[in-house]
Amino acid sequence: MAKVYAVVQHREGKIHRMAWETVTAAQQLAALSGGQAAAVVLGSGVAGLAAELAAWDLESVRVIDHPRLADYTPGGYVAALAALVALEHPEILLFPHTYQTVEYMPRLALAASAAIVPEAFSFEPDGAGGLLWKRPILEGKLYARVRAKGAGPILVSLQSGAFSADARRPGQAPVATVEVDLASAATWREILGVKEMGGERVDLSKAEIIVAIGRGVGGADKMGPVEELARVLKAELGASRPVIDSGWLPRDRQIGSSGQTVAPKLYLAFGISGAIQHLVGMKGATCIVAVNKDAGAPIFKVANYGIVGDLHEVIPALLAALKAE
């Protein structure tokens, strides 16, 4: 009879897309274990969000509404959730694997004597009354089957897209307010402001064809043939994060979880291994072509066509073939 809590992330009055995936996962996990799924929303003035969550098949919506939770801070969130765990003893807390949850989950684990399973993408019974989780390792090239041991709750963050938001079951859930004392919650930071990173000048979401490059391109001085290919195909140039971080292309060309999400009819990925952070930004493309030296690169799993080889040889060959047509 596992008690499963889905912790719902939100910002500016909107529930995070991945939070709905967490609700689906909580429902499935509760069904598997004959337990109950609840949603937890914390913030200040979040009655509207709680009402939205109440329209789904949940045992309840737990609300922690406190002025100190108006903005996300690790101090406030850890104190509030640790208090909730101490009061209600959920066995499993599910989170979306986001920049926000990854930042505070480990501290919550310490405060609540919990185990952490980061970035799980599936679960199954372990045959001994517990659960096995699968999570990516080595940048998604492999996955690990892991299990929490020892007493205490388990905190699990769920990989983006691993559970379908659309699969959540509607229903009716009572809203329950949980009072917590945050007077002595740690103040680990003072928020000075929020700003746009670099500003998105190029809107890649409207591109029909994207030629994307990864770390494998090898340097800013090796871009000539790539740029020519983009010209010939009338394509936009895109890149995975390492290319941007190395300064080979400007930040507005970044595709993936910390960049733009695209869905062109043709996506050509050169020297991109296919880490999940990149895949979430481009897997909606109609046709994906992958060129990579490593036959085991995860990008080949989502691609329609693949060439195992050095992009510096394949691109000139492609240019020649296009010109010959």
How far, in Å, CA of 251 to CA of 176, rounded? 43
Angle between helices 311-324 and 224-233 (to 10 degrees): 30
Tell me the closest approach of the beta carbon of residue 79 to other proteins, in angstroms.
13
The candidate with the shortest Cα–Cα distance to 189, out of 88, 76, 91, 96, is 76
DSSP track, 311-322: HHHHHHHHHHHH
As measured in angstroms, the least distance from the Cβ of 98 to other proteins is 6
- Concatenating the DSSP letter of every residue in 81-112 gives HHHHHHHH--SEEEEE--HHHHHHHHHHHHHT
Smaller CB separation from other proteins, 74 or 161: 74
Taking the complex as a whole, how short is the minimal distance between the CB of residue 284 and other proteins, in angstroms?
Answer: 14
Cβ proximity to other proteins, 28 vs 159, nearer residue: 159
Kind and range of the H or E run holding 266? strand 266-270
If the CB atoms of residues 103 and 171 are measured against other proteins, the closer one turns out to be: 103
Let me know: does 126 contact 132? Beta carbons within 8 Å. Answer: yes
- Decide: 266 and 207 in contact? Cβ < 8 Å: no
Minimum CB distance to other proteins, residue 173 (Å): 26
Whole-Å CA distances, 118 to 62, 123, 206, 224: 23, 13, 33, 39
| 3-class secondary structure, 152 | coil
Is 43 or 242 the residue whose CB approaches other proteins more closely? 242
In whole angstroms, how close is the CB of 84 to other proteins at the nearest point? Answer: 18
CB of 303 to other proteins, least distance (A): 4
The b/e string for 198-216 (b: 16+ C-beta within 10 A; e otherwise) is eeeeeebeebebbbbbbbb
Residue that has been written with the tokens 């509404």 in this structure: 65
Q: Which is nearer to other proteins, 145 or 206 (CB)?
A: 145
Closest CB 67 distance from other proteins, rounded Å: 19
**Are 297 and 309 spatial neighbours (Cβ–Cβ below 8 Å)?**
no
Q: Which is nearer to other proteins, 57 or 200 (CB)?
A: 200
Calpha distance 246→220 (Å, rounded):
9
- For residue 302, give both structure tokens: 């989502």
Return d(Cα 291, Cα 273) in angstroms, integer. 9
User: Which C-beta is closer to other proteins: that of 38 or that of 185?
Assistant: 185
For the bound state, the minimum distance from the C-beta of residue 124 to other proteins, rounded and expressed in Å, comes to 12
Pairwise CA distance, residues 320 & 223, whole Å: 17
Q: Work out how close the CB of 170 gets to other proteins at its nearest, in angstroms, rounded to a whole number.
A: 27
